[in-house]
Structure 1
């Protein structure tokens, strides 16, 4: 009984840490683009900064996975948090876009270790795939709550204290989170029993399988679409003279949509890959509706957030279905690397073409191509093999 109670407390400490990390990472979303513009960065330079950050994040993800599996999870949460706190404070002292490029890139590398380590730690607290899905859904809900309030906090911070002081406060908050993690988070793995079928056990012996590659491909497309939105919405602050509070509110609509879908817990009963396809298809259609201006921007962001909320828990559940427990660190590291790759591509392409071509249309093409390709591969694999017959 005592061990069960300790495991429950440990799990909720993980949830608290992941929530706080997610909150502070998103606080800076409406702050960075106008701050970079104020320091003289063009849309192309901002795209390069975000791409470089995603690249360093990708590099860190690849390095993080095997190290997390080998050396434990807690140290790869605590140390990056302290490093990130320093880098965020340093943002407030940046003199030009070159400084932002260096600091954002270093911060991206440090943060690359956090999510794979935290998800790998969380994944050990489930006895079966349904509990796994429930844990991922709870994490998704907490992350979404942070997505609703963080942009509002970030936008208001700029109004109250200015860009530089906003980064000082973000850095101080992350330092406090690192201290909490150091004191309260335990790096121990409970013994878990997975009731898997024989087929699943065989599949779980490897990280790289045809099905998990399809999952990663969907992850790339989802983050490409997400990256375009993350790039374009803050730019409204620059192009239309909106306040950071207004752009923060727009991101909150997206968070509300995500929270709505995550509250539909019955969705977790469906196959994760089918949920991924459904969510990506919905995001692709909604991004196309952004081009046509079928609905107002807040409504469309609400819808995008709804489908995004379907995808994210399904992604975690799919990874744990097709990767053995002993390789969770690497599997989630690769997942985060794929996410970073999607952000790299979207940030670079959007920054390069936004003055001559709609980034939303490119995102629509990427999403629909992956939806059709993965759907075809899934349909092909589910069909029974054809046998040649001869008529006599």
Structure 2
């Protein structure tokens, strides 16, 4: 028998805790009070190596024990607080006899693929415009380079949806991961603007194949009762990518070149591709009888709400990414402050996704939580435009995070409820096409109308309130129809 995953985590946790304490209470004082910086260098390197193994141990436990994901986040948090590892060790020792290993959870591999898809997107945000300028692009062309990825993503999403229903999500994921990884490596060949534009087209189109196929595969793995909370867990990986992606690329780009940063992302994609071939290769293809005609996508009320929700969610995101840094700068703060504000919204959304609060989406009707989410986003957009105090901005961005957390799983649950497995791939293809188009529209519409600062946030808030009116009218009409049918 091999070592129990919990025991391995306990060992690495103790080592991590000891190395953190020696770094903070021995090496750091020696550096500042005895002028011996070499102790920090050696201890810091050892602690970094131990933490990486400790982090891998947490992933191993999550995959093999499949405990509540909140425990994994708690274990990560313990690594940053002195003596917390020792407190966690006492709890894990009591829990170990009660926790048994389980078969490899295939859905976690799909979660990792979804994280890769959005991580790939968010990694580019802080570095792509400056990288385009560094290879000779003008400011105008640099803007095209940034937007071209999402524009081509739209076409990849649609193609992915169509072919997922025909040949299965597994094959589409293999194609998407392989071509996306190769396109990321192609940034090493960029030496002028023309080549960069070609690579951006290929990268955006190939990456567009991943998300619809992955979400379709996950939706078909879940039961009907799990769709709401399951979509919330999926949303947590999107939120984590939104937090980790920009920060990690900014840090890495200051140490290594942008093409090398993107090559590291490609390596992650290749590892996922190998895992996909090893663990999901036997995924069945869609079953179709020879004489069966293919089912067509019917644009019913549920699909329309899901698509509009996806568009307005990402329209709001595009506005936030475009206006918030400018707005914060006009208030007299630096770029770091806008990044911190965006992190607050992401952290709040992820907490709602992973904590027991995600059960809300199983208990309440998805159309009701959709209405709440859009309403909160609208209030937050207007609130940002009317606020100049930083404390209030933090509170409003937290409110925005709550709105995002309500909206994302709701539109996924509505789409799943409104479709069958035979057309779900195509439905998700168009769904994420609206997603990609919303990002482009958010910044470009406000740029075209020359709406900046307060006017831009007010315009977006009013637009979101208009969508709230549509949802409310639809809910009222459906309730009236139900009452009439009972009568």
Structure 2 length normalisation: TM-score? Answer: 0.67
Give 1:363's aligned residue: 460
Give 1:266's aligned residue: 359
Is the counterpart of residue 216 in structure 1 residue 307 in structure 2?
Answer: yes
Which shows bigger deviation, 365-374 or 45-54?
45-54
Report the number of matched residues. Answer: 369
Is the counterpart of residue 289 in structure 1 residue 383 in structure 2?
Answer: yes
Query: CA–CA distance in 2 between the matches of 1:374 and 1:160?
Result: 48
Q: 1:224 to 1:355 in 2, by over 3 A?
A: closer
User: What are the within-5 Å matches in structure 2 for residues 98-177 of structure 1?
Assistant: 98-128=194-224, 130-177=225-272
Give 2:276's aligned residue: 181
Give 2:182's aligned residue: 86
Q: 1:249 to 1:154 in 2, by over 3 A?
A: farther
Higher Cα Rg, which structure: 2
User: What are the within-5 Å matches in structure 2 for residues 290-329 of structure 1?
Assistant: 290-293=384-387, 295-296=389-390, 297-329=393-425
Give 2:318's aligned residue: 227
Equivalent residues of 2:306, 2:412 under 8 A apart? no
Which shows bigger deviation, 65-74 or 177-186?
177-186
Q: 1:127 to 1:211 in 2, by over 3 A?
A: closer
SS in 1 for 2:221: coil
Shift of 1:15: 2.1
Is the counterpart of residue 57 in structure 1 residue 156 in structure 2?
Answer: no
Query: CA–CA distance in 2 between the matches of 1:95 and 1:190?
Result: 42
Which shows bigger deviation, 149-158 or 32-41?
32-41
User: Relative contact order (alpha carbons < 8 A, sep ≥ 6): 1 or 2 greater?
Assistant: 1
Shift of 1:188: 1.8
Give 2:173's aligned residue: 77
Query: CA–CA distance in 1 between the matches of 2:470 and 2:116?
Result: 37
Which shows bigger deviation, 64-73 or 168-177?
168-177
Partner of residue 480 from structure 2, selected from 383, 387, 390: 383
Which shows bigger deviation, 92-101 or 71-80?
92-101
Give 2:84's aligned residue: none
Question: Where does the alignment leave 5 or more consecutive residues of structure 1 unmatched?
Answer: 192-203, 388-392
Give 1:197's aligned residue: none
Shift of 1:122: 0.8
Query: CA–CA distance in 2 between the matches of 1:214 and 1:124?
Result: 21
Q: 1:276 to 1:98 in 2, by over 3 A?
A: farther
Is the counterpart of residue 373 in structure 1 residue 442 in structure 2?
Answer: no
Give 2:436's aligned residue: 340
Q: 1:386 to 1:14 in 2, by over 3 A?
A: closer
> What are the Cα deviations for residues 82-130 of structure 1, in whole angstroms up to 9, with x where unaligned?
22222223335444554443322321211111111111111111232x2
Equivalent residues of 1:74, 1:185 under 8 A apart? yes
Q: 1:362 to 1:189 in 2, by over 3 A?
A: farther
Query: CA–CA distance in 2 between the matches of 1:274 and 1:20?
Result: 30
Shift of 1:385: 9.3
Query: CA–CA distance in 2 between the matches of 1:275 and 1:36?
Result: 40
Is the counterpart of residue 255 in structure 1 residue 352 in structure 2?
Answer: no
Question: Where does the alignment leave 5 or more consecutive residues of structure 2 unmatched?
Answer: 1-100, 287-294
Which shows bigger deviation, 148-157 or 111-120?
148-157
Shift of 1:308: 0.8
Equivalent residues of 2:228, 2:359 under 8 A apart? no
SS in 2 for 1:124: helix
Shift of 1:335: 0.8
Give 1:278's aligned residue: 372
Give 1:195's aligned residue: none
Aligned Cα root-mean-square deviation (Å): 3.3
Equivalent residues of 1:45, 1:351 under 8 A apart? no
Q: 1:311 to 1:171 in 2, by over 3 A?
A: same
Equivalent residues of 2:129, 2:145 under 8 A apart? no
Query: CA–CA distance in 2 between the matches of 1:169 and 1:236?
Result: 33
Equivalent residues of 2:168, 2:285 under 8 A apart? no
Equivalent residues of 1:10, 1:186 under 8 A apart? no
Q: 1:320 to 1:251 in 2, by over 3 A?
A: same
Q: 1:385 to 1:242 in 2, by over 3 A?
A: closer
Query: CA–CA distance in 1 between the matches of 2:307 and 2:376?
Result: 18
